[in-house]
Amino acid sequence: MIHTHENGITCQDLLLNLSSYIDGDLEESMCEELKRHMEGCQNCRVVFDTTTRTIYLYQSRIERDEIPPEVRERLYSKLNLDDFLKTKA
Amino acid sequence: MTEIEPELSLDLLRAGDRNELARLVEAYSPSIYRLASRMLGNAQDAEDVLQTTFLKVFKALADFEGRSSLSTWIYRIAANEALMMMRRKQPAYSLDEEVEDEEGGTYQPKEMADWSALPEAQLLDVEAQKQLDRAIQTLPAKLRSVFLLRDVEGLSIRETAEALSLTETNVKTRLLRARLFLREQLSAYYTEKMALEK
Ligand SMILES: [Zn+2]
């Protein structure tokens, strides 16, 4: 195996790669390095867990946003598409 | 999250087929309204941006070359409209000065409490939802647009870069900052909430 424990990554490395790691954009070997770092580093594990949770919470929160019916009506009217308003509730 | 891109006929859209245009509006208006409301934090401004976006989309469809996907192109028009609205509303406020894209000033997380295992009912109760809304409004606009397109609307890094006329590297840098900024805000809030409930 290429990686050695002595050359482990730092907290700063983890931070800089955090987003790409969350997005699954990193090479397998780098993911392994990050995972191993987090096993031994409580702070980085918390940062990782709370960051993924933050993203998830915003997704759940905003996903529930709906377009108010009167806003939708005014949009269709502005676009001269009033006659299509009833096609979908 | 992104809906599956509906099968729309570009030829019909370009020819001004009203039925097809209505399908386009039905498919994309919820996402555009969501983006505009969260970018601007104000329902009236969001509605203005929603209407202007589709008026522009209808007008520009003839020139749409299909180099990016239709959805990315519509998001691009909407994001521009939202940013212009911000400039109109706060002329003194420079969108260009607020973020540097360099890695400089490497970010150090401060809040270290682990609230990630709190039950979802608590993480998303009415008060917490308000806190989430407040936090995203304090995020600098340039970071907010990246976060909303990538993490909420589910665009890829490349699509986000296309929609905002940024490089992919810039998108990645801003996305990291946005995520860490929001994490910090939510951590401060949930830490206090946990302490109060003990
Ligand atoms: Zn660490």
pLDDT band of A40, cuts 50, 70, 90: very high
* Rounded (10°) angle between helices B43-60 and B70-89: 130
Q: Smallest CA–CA separation between A6 and chain B, in Å?
A: 24
* Partner-chain contact B51 A74, CB within 8 Å: yes
For residue B112, give every residue at least 6 positions away whose Cβ sits within 8 Å of its Cβ, in sequence order, or none. Answer: A43, A46, A47, B187
pLDDT at residue A5, rounded to an integer: 45
All structural domains of chain A with their residue ranges: 11-63
Contact A75, B54 (CB under 8 A): yes
What ipTM score was computed for the predicted complex, to two decimals? 0.90
All structural domains of chain B with their residue ranges: 10-89, 120-197
Per-residue pLDDT of chain B (198 residues; tens, 9 = 90+): 444 567 899 999 999 999 999 999 999 999 999 999 999 999 999 999 999 999 999 999 988 988 889 999 999 999 999 999 998 887 666 555 555 555 444 578 999 999 999 999 999 999 999 999 999 999 999 999 999 999 999 999 999 999 999 999 999 999 999 999 999 999 999 999 989 887
Residue A40 Cα, ligand 1 centroid: separation in angstroms? 8
Report in angstroms the alpha-carbon separations of A1 from A4, A10, A36. Answer: 8, 20, 14
Q: Does B30 touch chain A (CB under 8 A)?
A: yes
Count of alpha carbons within 13 angstroms of residue B65, beta-carbon side = 1
Report in angstroms the alpha-carbon separations of A12 from B24, B52, B57, B68. Answer: 45, 43, 43, 35
CATH number of B120-197: 1.10.10.10
Instruction: Please check the confidence at residue A7 and state whether its pLDDT lies above 80.
Output: no
Residue A36 Cα, ligand 1 centroid: separation in angstroms? 10
* Partner-chain contact A52 B176, CB within 8 Å: no
pLDDT at residue B70, rounded to an integer: 94
Alpha-carbon distance of B61 to B8, in angstroms, equals 13
Residue A1 DSSP label: -
Which residue in B115, B116, B122 has the most chain A C-beta atoms within 10 A of its own C-beta, making it the best mutation to test that interface?
B116
Domain B10-89 has CATH 3.40.50.12160: no
- Nearest in space to B110 (alpha carbons), one of B43, B39, B184, B37: B184
Q: Does B168 touch chain A (CB under 8 A)?
A: no
pLDDT at residue A3, rounded to an integer: 41
Q: Smallest CA–CA separation between A73 and chain B, in Å?
A: 11
Q: Does B147 touch chain A (CB under 8 A)?
A: yes
Q: Does B21 touch chain A (CB under 8 A)?
A: yes
Instruction: Please check the confidence at residue A81 and state whether its pLDDT lies above 60.
Output: yes
pLDDT at residue A4, rounded to an integer: 41
Of A86 and A25, the one with more pLDDT? A25
pTM for this one?
Answer: 0.91
pLDDT at residue B92, rounded to an integer: 64
